[in-house]
Structures are given as C-alpha cells and as structure tokens.
Structure 1
C-alpha cells in the first residue's frame, strides 16, 4: 500500500508519520487491512527518516513540479494536511487560496481514478462555522465561516465531497477543534496563546493566562487528532453511509480546568507561577467560539475526544522526547 502525506513536517503531520510507521498498516478501499509498503512525505521542511519505506519531496504543495512528482507516484491513500493557517491566510489571502483550494483541486485531478479511487483524508476545521453559534456545534450546523482560512476549509469540504460523488476519490474530512499542544516557537494565533499556557508552565516559566478563569473552549490533543484521522481512513464507506465530513469531538475545558490539570500533572517544583490577566480583545474572540464540539457519527466509527486535560498535558510532555 502506498501512502502520501502532505504537510508531513508539520505539528500534526510529523505525529501522523510516527503513528503510521508504528502501525505499519491501513485498511484499503475494499476494507482489507494491508501493509504500508511505501510512504511519500511532502512538505517545505522535513526531518530525516531512516525507515526504508519513506520517500520525501521537499517543496511547496502548490508548486507544479511537486504535484507532477506526486502524480507519478500514484498513492493508494492520501492524507492531505498541507495548508496555510488562519493568520497567514488573513495576511496573504490570494496565496492562501492557491495553496488551500487550487492545489487541492489539482491534487485530486492528479491522483483521482475512476477505476481505483484512492482514499483521501482531509483535516478540516471548526473555523468553517461562524457567526451566531449555539454553545454546542454538531456535524450538521450550517457553515458561515468568518475567516479566509475557514472559508477555504469549507470550500475544500465541498470539492472533496463532489470528487467523491464522481467516483474519483473516497474522501473523508475530519473537522478539528483547537489542537494542543504545539511545541513552538510561539505565534500570535489565539490557539497558540492557549497552548503557551501549557508549554511555558511545563518548561518552568511563569505563565500569564490571557483569559478569564471561567472561559471555556473546545480542545483536543494532537494524539487524538492522529487517531481520528487514521480511524476515519480505516472505516468502511458503508459505515459512513454517504457522509464525507464530521466533527472531531472535543473536550471542553475552562482556563481554571487547564491550570488545575497542570498542577495535578507537573511536579510543583518545576512548574512556573500561573496568574490570570484577561485580555479583552482575546476574550471577545474566544467568546464567539462554540463551547462544545460534537458529532453524532464519530462514536459509531471509533472516534472520540480526550478523556481529560491531564492526558493532553501528559502527551505533550512525552512528545518532548520525540522532538
């Protein structure tokens, strides 16, 4: 089985590569478990892999030369993680549209096949939802994205569903909530401001929480994301019953919950001092987000949220040894 991973050098991509190399197999389009014979990793920045299964293309997914090399490779399964994220998409909307939408359409055209349609797994985002949201968002809420990034993800879901309808690919999109804990370096994104609470506290640095203690957000560990992407890949089309996009259920936590989990998980002697200093601008952004993120389909296909924030902290600490 030949597996393509774009965005393989990123936060989620590198975790996915490790998980797939460890598992050694995936379920093919007929529902049969098969060994992963080859794995093609594509990204602008890639770490060296010693595994003989791994091949690499270092380059931008929107580059025609990179796309031609991928087409020659003919994957059985695709995990398409390459993207420009929220801040970058806002700053460079034209380039982001090319990377997030046009390159996706080109990739589908190059790897799609009416006779042997590859599975095509896509991480979408909670950002496809926007406007006046209920406290809890499920799979079927009407999408009103309020950012370029969210708009691109929404368009991508439709493109993937249409290509699946035409029989060119078998696409499954998994919408992600806030994914923790990015190892850094720090960014200005709202989600990274939350990640920094854990990242700095674990490193023994003093932490200022920029939100109120009672502010609640939907979060998921990168481990749960990877498990979800693999699960939605392996589930049969019959079990999905025509559904091509679902939410990845989130764990809803308050800032107070995060601090309490850190104090229970990290040795107090190595934990930085934690104080609260709410930022009104940041608070207004987070208050517009849903507090819960659920899916009626996820549990039926073996996809679930993290069981506690302590497990998210523990996974982050363990991941530091893999850096």
Structure 2
C-alpha cells in the first residue's frame, strides 16, 4: 500500500507519519488490513526520517511536475493536511485560498480515479461553524463560518463530498477543534497561543495567557487526532451513512482549568499572567464551546478524557516526563 501525506512537515503530519510507521498497515477498500510499503511525504520543509518506507518530496502540490509525479505514483490513500491556519488566513486570504482550496482541487484532479478511487482523509475545522451557537454543536449544525479559514474549510468539505459522489475519491473529513500541544517554536496561530501555556509551564518558564481565565475552548491532543484520522481512514464507507464529514469530539476546558491541570501534573505553581488579546478573543468567541458528534462513537472516534492526559502526552513527546520544579 502506498500512502501520500501532504503538509507532512507540520505538527499533525509528523505525528501521523510516526504512527503509520509504527502501525505498519492500513485497511484497503475491501476492509482488509494491508501492509504499508511506502509513505510519500510532501511539504516545502520536511524532517529527516531514516526509514526505508519513507520517500520525501520537498515541493508544493501547486507545482505541475510534483502533481505529475504523484499521479504516476498512484497512491492508494492520501492524508491531505496542508493548510494555512486561522490567523495567517485572515492576514492573507488570497494566499490561504491557494493552499486551503485550490491545492485540494489540484489533489483531487491528480489522484482521482473512478476505477480505483483512493481514500482521501482531510482535517476540516471547528471554524466551519459560527454565528449564534448552542451550547453544544453536533455534526449537522448549520455552517456559518466567521473567518476566512473556516470558509475555506467549508468549501473544501463540499468539494470532497462532490468528488466522492462522482466516484473520483473516497473522502472522509474530521473537523478539528484546537489541537495541542504544538512543540514550538512559537507561532501566532490560535492553537499555539494556548499551547504556549503548556510548553512554558512544563519547562518551568513564565507564560502569558492571551484569553480571560474563564474563557472556555474545545481541545484535543495531537495523539487523539492522529489515532482518529487513522480510524476514519479504516472505517467502512457504509458506516459513514452517506455523510463524509464529522466532528472530532472535544474536551472543553477554561484557561483556569488548564492552569489547574498544569499545577497537578507538574507539581508546581505555573507562572501565568493573563493578558487578553481582543482579536484572539473575537475568533475564539465565534467557535462552539461544546463540540460533539453523534456519529463518532459508532466508528470509534473519541475525545480526550482529561487535560492532565494532554499534558502528559506532551511531556512524553518532548522528553519532559519529570517536573521541572
């Protein structure tokens, strides 16, 4: 089996690559577990991985020669992770459109095959929802995105559904809340501004929280996201009941909850200063606080149970299992 990962050099991409290498197999279109023979990593920047199953391609999907090579390679499955995130998309909508929408169109054209449609797994976003929202937002809530990024993801979901209807691909999308904990270096993305609380506190460093203490956000660990993307890939299409996108169930926590969990896990008093950022608050206030899915449990897509577990997962990845007190 040949697997293509775009955006492979990113946070989720590197974690997914490691998980696939460890698993060694995925289910094919017949539902039979099949050995992974090769993983093609595509991104403009990639880490060095010494595994004979890995082929690295430092390039852009927008490049015609790159698309020709992928088309000739004929991947059985694609994890299309490449994206320009919320803050960057707001700053440059045109550049974000090229990555978030047009590159997906290029990918569908490149790998689409009516005879043997590849599975295409896509991380969508909680940002497809917006406006006046109930306490809990389920899979089929009306989409009213309030950001450029959310609009692009909503467009992408429709594109994937249509390409699946046409028999070109077998698409599955998982809408993600805030994914934690990015290892750094720090960025201006929404998720990383919150991740910084964990990174700094685990390292015994002072941290600035850009949201009010009582601000609640839906979160998920990168390990849970990767596990669920693989689960979604392996799910029989009949179990999706004709719907190609579902929510990643989230754990809802306040900034105070995060500080409390850090206090317990690190056995220290985190040095957190609250300095609310008005622009970040505007983005976060437009998202659901409770992010649920009625369909996820039936196919094994789950949420994290506690924020303590998310911190412990980060400690394992970063090699900081012990307290820095």
Which category of TM-score, normalised to the shorter sequence, fits these structures?
A: over 0.9
The equivalent residue for 2:51 is: 51
The equivalent residue for 1:320 is: 318
Q: Where do 1:55-204 residues align within 5 Å?
A: 55-204=55-204
Q: What is the deviation of 1:99?
A: 1.7
1:124–1:176 contact (8 Å) kept in structure 2: yes
Please state if 1:250 is matched with 2:254. no
The equivalent residue for 2:323 is: none
Specify which of 287, 297, 307 is matched with residue 285 of structure 2: 287
Q: What is the deviation of 1:283?
A: 3.5
Determine the C-alpha separation between the residues in 2 that align with 1:94 and 1:209.
30
Determine the C-alpha separation between the residues in 2 that align with 1:36 and 1:198.
34
Gaps of 5+ in 1: none
- The count of residues paired between Structure 1 and Structure 2 equals 320
Q: What is the deviation of 1:188?
A: 2.3
- TM-score, structure 2 normalization: 0.94
1:3–1:77 contact (8 Å) kept in structure 2: yes
Q: What is the deviation of 1:100?
A: 1.4
Gaps of 5+ in 2: 321-325
RMSD over aligned Cα atoms: 1.5
- TM-score, structure 1 normalization: 0.95
The equivalent residue for 1:216 is: 216
Specify which of 286, 295, 301 is matched with residue 299 of structure 2: 301
The equivalent residue for 1:3 is: 3
Q: What is the deviation of 1:65?
A: 2.0
The verdict on how the C-alpha distance between 1:136 and 1:60 changes in structure 2, with shifts beyond 3 A counting, is same
Q: Which sits farther off after the overlay, 10-19 or 46-55?
A: 46-55
Q: What is the deviation of 1:280?
A: 4.7
Q: What is the deviation of 1:33?
A: 0.6
Q: What is the deviation of 1:53?
A: 0.8
Determine the C-alpha separation between the residues in 2 that align with 1:244 and 1:50.
35
Q: What is the deviation of 1:193?
A: 1.7
Q: What is the deviation of 1:321?
A: 3.5
Q: Which sits farther off after the overlay, 311-320 or 203-212?
A: 203-212
2:262–2:270 contact (8 Å) kept in structure 1: no
Q: What is the deviation of 1:182?
A: 1.0
Q: Which sits farther off after the overlay, 70-79 or 287-296?
A: 287-296
1:61–1:82 contact (8 Å) kept in structure 2: no
Q: Which sits farther off after the overlay, 53-62 or 216-225?
A: 53-62
- Secondary structure of the structure 2 residue equivalent to 1:299: helix
2:88–2:189 contact (8 Å) kept in structure 1: no
Determine the C-alpha separation between the residues in 2 that align with 1:27 and 1:285.
38
Determine the C-alpha separation between the residues in 2 that align with 1:284 and 1:86.
12
2:263–2:270 contact (8 Å) kept in structure 1: no
Q: CA deviation digits over 1:195-236, x for unaligned, max 9?
A: 111111111111232322222110000001101100000010
The verdict on how the C-alpha distance between 1:211 and 1:95 changes in structure 2, with shifts beyond 3 A counting, is closer
Q: What is the deviation of 1:266?
A: 1.1
- Secondary structure of the structure 2 residue equivalent to 1:42: strand
The verdict on how the C-alpha distance between 1:318 and 1:69 changes in structure 2, with shifts beyond 3 A counting, is same
1:203–1:272 contact (8 Å) kept in structure 2: no
Q: Where do 1:13-28 residues align within 5 Å?
A: 13-28=13-28
